[in-house]
């Protein structure tokens, strides 16, 4: 193994990767905000799946308006109005997270602890709003877990959201690491395109909305990170002699692909 390329950091996506937050988290928060604003919009499970092609909540609302309620485009305060609506959505999402109803996905907590023990840096590269990341980490791993991450890149910190590579470039820059020293873990095609465009070896753990997407270019596509008592299922990509994703497997991935 080329020790020069030893794994230095793991860059985690949030929505769909750390936790399955979309269907019963973000979607419900959007609908609650719509209700608060007196809108008769309802993003059902199917429609929300289609809208997920557009990353970012504010961008998703604008896309919905353009395609489903174009009369609203005449509002001259549209941008501010969307910002207000999205702020309400973020508050609903935070309250939902406080209930603790959305758990981390299999293997996530275990892998995070293992990487900390191995002194591998942890980072987050996500499209979602920072408040959402904090709320999810607090409710699942506890308040102190926020400090376990060396860098958290979230939301509007970069102008172009995934599939643009900007958020990964930003995080790598903050970490002062090269892509060859890192692994990205993603759940969606948009996330994969973003990470690959930043030259990152990318592992996919599919989530409920993303399992039939195109993951060409991923080092491996797995059902989840797996646990010793509940191994992952390999869907595509390279085979590693592991049944759950651990430090050693990620290190192998980083050295093989760099």
Residues engaged in binding ligand XBP (CB under 6 A): 13-16, 22, 26, 55-57, 89, 126-129, 132, 155, 162, 188, 190-191
Lookup: tokens for 222: 């797995």
Indicate the residue among 128 and 213 with the shorter CB distance to ligand XBP: 128
251 binds, among Mg ion, ligand XBP, none (CB under 5 to 8 A by kind): none
220-222, strands of its sheet edge to edge:
151-153, 121-125, 9-12, 182-186, 201-205, 220-222, 234-237
Separation CA 227–CA 187 (nearest Å): 18
Q: Measure the CA–CA gap between 1 and 249, rounded to whole angstroms.
A: 12
Distance of CA 224 to the CA centre of its chain: 14
Which of 129/202 has CB closer to ligand XBP?
A: 129
Interface residues toward Mg ion, by CB under 5 A: 13, 15-16, 187-188, 191
Cβ neighbour number for residue 166 with a 10 Å cutoff: 18
Q: How far is the CB of 19 from Mg ion (least distance, A)?
A: 10
Residue of this chain nearest to ligand XBP (CB atom): 57
Which residue is catalytic, options 15, 187, 224, 246?
15
State the minimum distance, in angstroms, from the CB of residue 165 to ligand XBP. Answer: 12
| Residue 179, contacted partner among ligand XBP, Mg ion, none, CB below 5-8 A by kind | none
Angle at the Cα of 245 from the Cα atoms of 243 and 249, rounded to 5 degrees: 100
Identify the DSSP state of 74. Answer: G
Neighbours of 106 (CB within 10 A): 20
Q: Which of 190, 196, 200, 166 is nearest to 9 (CA)?
A: 200
Kindly report the number of other CB atoms within 10 A of residue 161's CB atom.
20
What's the CA gap between 225 and 218, in Å, rounded? 15
Judged by beta carbon, residue 154 or residue 253, the one nearer ligand XBP is: 154
Residue 126 partner contact from Mg ion, ligand XBP, none using kind-dependent CB cut-offs of 5 to 8 Å? ligand XBP
Nearest approach, Cβ of 190 to ligand XBP (angstroms)? 5
Q: Which is nearer to ligand XBP, 89 or 169 (CB)?
A: 89
56 binds, among ligand XBP, Mg ion, none (CB under 5 to 8 A by kind): ligand XBP
Which CB, 128 or 251, lies closer to ligand XBP?
Answer: 128
CB 253 within 8 A of CB 220: yes
Q: How far apart are CA 55 and CA 126, in angstroms?
A: 10
> Least distance (Å) from ligand XBP to the CB of residue 14?
6
- With CB under 5 to 8 Å by kind, the binding choice for 27 among Mg ion, ligand XBP, none is none
Catalytic residue check, 15: yes
For residues 1 and 174, the answer to whether their CB atoms sit within 8 Å is no
Q: CB of 254: closest distance to ligand XBP in angstroms? A: 21
Which of the residues are catalytic? 13, 15
């Amino acid at each position: 193994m080329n020790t020069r390329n030893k794994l230095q950091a793991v860059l985690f996506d949030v929505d769909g990767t750390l936790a399955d937050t979309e269907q019963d988290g973000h979607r419900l928060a959007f609908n609650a905000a719509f209700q608060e604003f007196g809108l008769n919009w309802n993003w059902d499970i199917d429609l929300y799946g289609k809208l997920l092609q557009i990353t970012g909540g504010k961008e998703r609302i604008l896309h919905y308006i353009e395609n489903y309620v174009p009369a609203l485009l005449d509002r001259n305060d549209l941008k501010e109005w969307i910002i207000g609506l999205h702020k309400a959505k973020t508050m609903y999402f935070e309250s939902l997270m406080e209930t603790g109803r959305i758990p981390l996905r299999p293997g996530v907590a275990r892998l995070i602890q293992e990487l900390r023990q191995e002194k591998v840096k942890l980072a987050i590269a996500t499209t979602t709003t920072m408040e959402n990341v904090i709320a999810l980490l607090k409710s699942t791993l506890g308040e102190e877990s926020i400090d376990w991450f060396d860098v958290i890149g979230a939301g509007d910190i970069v102008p172009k959201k995934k599939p643009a590579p900007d958020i990964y470039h930003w995080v790598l820059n903050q970490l002062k690491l090269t892509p060859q020293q890192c692994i990205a873990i993603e759940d969606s095609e948009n996330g994969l395109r973003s990470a690959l465009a930043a030259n990152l070896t990318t592992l996919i753990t599919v989530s409920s909305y993303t399992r039939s997407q195109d993951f060409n270019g991923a080092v491996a596509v797995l059902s989840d990170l797996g646990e010793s008592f509940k191994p992952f299922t390999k869907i595509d990509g390279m085979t590693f002699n592991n049944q759950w994703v651990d430090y050693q497997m990620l290190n192998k991935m980083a050295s093989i692909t760099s």
